[in-house]
Amino acid sequence: MSTASHADREALAGLIAGAVCIGFAPIFVRLVDVGYTAAAFWRVALSLPFLFALWFPRRRDPDSEEEPAALRWLWLGGASFAGDLAVWHQSILHTSVANATLLANLSPIFITAASFFLYHERVTWGFLVGLILALSGAAVLMADSFTISHETLLGDMYGVIASVFYAGYLLGVSRLRKRHSAFEVMWWTTLACALTLLPIVWLLGEPMWPKSRSGWAVLLGLALVSHVGGQGLIAWALAHLPAAFSSVSLLVQPVAAAVFAWMLLAEPFGVQQVVGGAVVLAGIVLCRLAMAATLAMKSDST
């Protein structure tokens, strides 16, 4: 097995583990005693001390000529992630959790389109079939709770907008990881995200401060498990895997969230959810095979 193939497998394992960590996020959010957007702020703000401890000993020379431009892109990535969190949490307020979750996971469509039109990356029919299959599995997984009505239209629009923001964030991190470490990307994007979210929380007038130690514990879990662990592993993996494939693999998130909700909150998880989860995984495998075939063709041509 080649070194590149081994690195890809390790990156895929890290990506899936990151997606599973983020699958805990809806559980934590369900338990918070602050506003939803405030929870998003604390998710990143409480991550900062841990990310700083990881980044600071490994920081790059600040006198580098590339530093100002790099910082602009890192801050833009953080602002995109702030937009994703803020808009997605508003989506939950105006539509069902199933609608908000499914629509926020449409980011693979936007990432695949951007990869093709902006970066001229090859997209095969096998990959597109896998993408459609994975998205269909996510829809089956949430079909029981998914509703379409005039009352949910605003929240549904927020969900789609959140997926666009997340697509921008993943594309940005994927590009940044070609020149910067995962620690550097996570530190600067998280700092930018926290500073962007703070005035939004203030403008919305949401409850800001947890009312108990358990409230702080939930927010700390959200920060360490879903952000430091989940987003950190994803940022690391994006240096080794294409953004389009990574975004499809992240559809493991709603599957993991459904399993955790069944185990921890006694929410229903029956045959339909099993079928939906299996279809998601089949779609990811098909995308993986299509990606491997494309890489093999490139290797043969060189």
Average pLDDT of 264-282?
82
Environment class of 224 (CB within 10 Å of its CB; exposed 0-12, middle 13-18, buried 19+): middle
Q: CA 26 → CA 46, 220, 241, distances in Å?
A: 17, 14, 26
Task: Compare 93 and 160 and report the one with higher pLDDT.
Answer: 160
Tokens 């995984």 locate to: 281
Helices (H), the chain: 3-22, 25-31, 36-45, 48-55, 67-94, 97-104, 107-117, 125-141, 153-176, 182-204, 213-221, 232-237, 243-249, 252-265, 271-301
Query: What is the domain range of residue 109?
Result: 3-301
Question: Domains in the chain: how many in total?
Answer: 1
What digits encode the pLDDT tens for the residues 119-145?
Answer: 777 888 898 999 999 999 888 877 776
Confidence (pTM): 0.86
Tokens of 94: 């105006």
59-85 b/e (C-beta count within 10 Å ≥ 16 → b): eeeeeeeeeeebeebbbbbbbbbbbbb
Residue 142 has a pLDDT of 75
Task: Give 35's DSSP letter.
Answer: -
User: Could you give phi then psi for residue 243, rounded to 5 degrees?
Assistant: -65, -40
CB 121 within 8 A of CB 294: no
Tokens of 19: 């997606």
Average pLDDT, the chain: 85
- What is the rounded distance in angstroms from the CA atom of residue 123 to the CA atom of residue 229? 30
Residue 264 has a pLDDT of 79
What digits encode the pLDDT tens for the residues 88-113?
Answer: 878 877 777 667 777 888 899 999 89
- What is the rounded distance in angstroms from the CA atom of residue 276 to the CA atom of residue 282? 10
**Distance, CA of 81 to chain centre:** 9
Residue 208 has a pLDDT of 94
Tokens 């203030």 locate to: 202
Residue 1: pLDDT over 50: no
- What is the rounded distance in angstroms from the CA atom of residue 107 to the CA atom of residue 250? 10
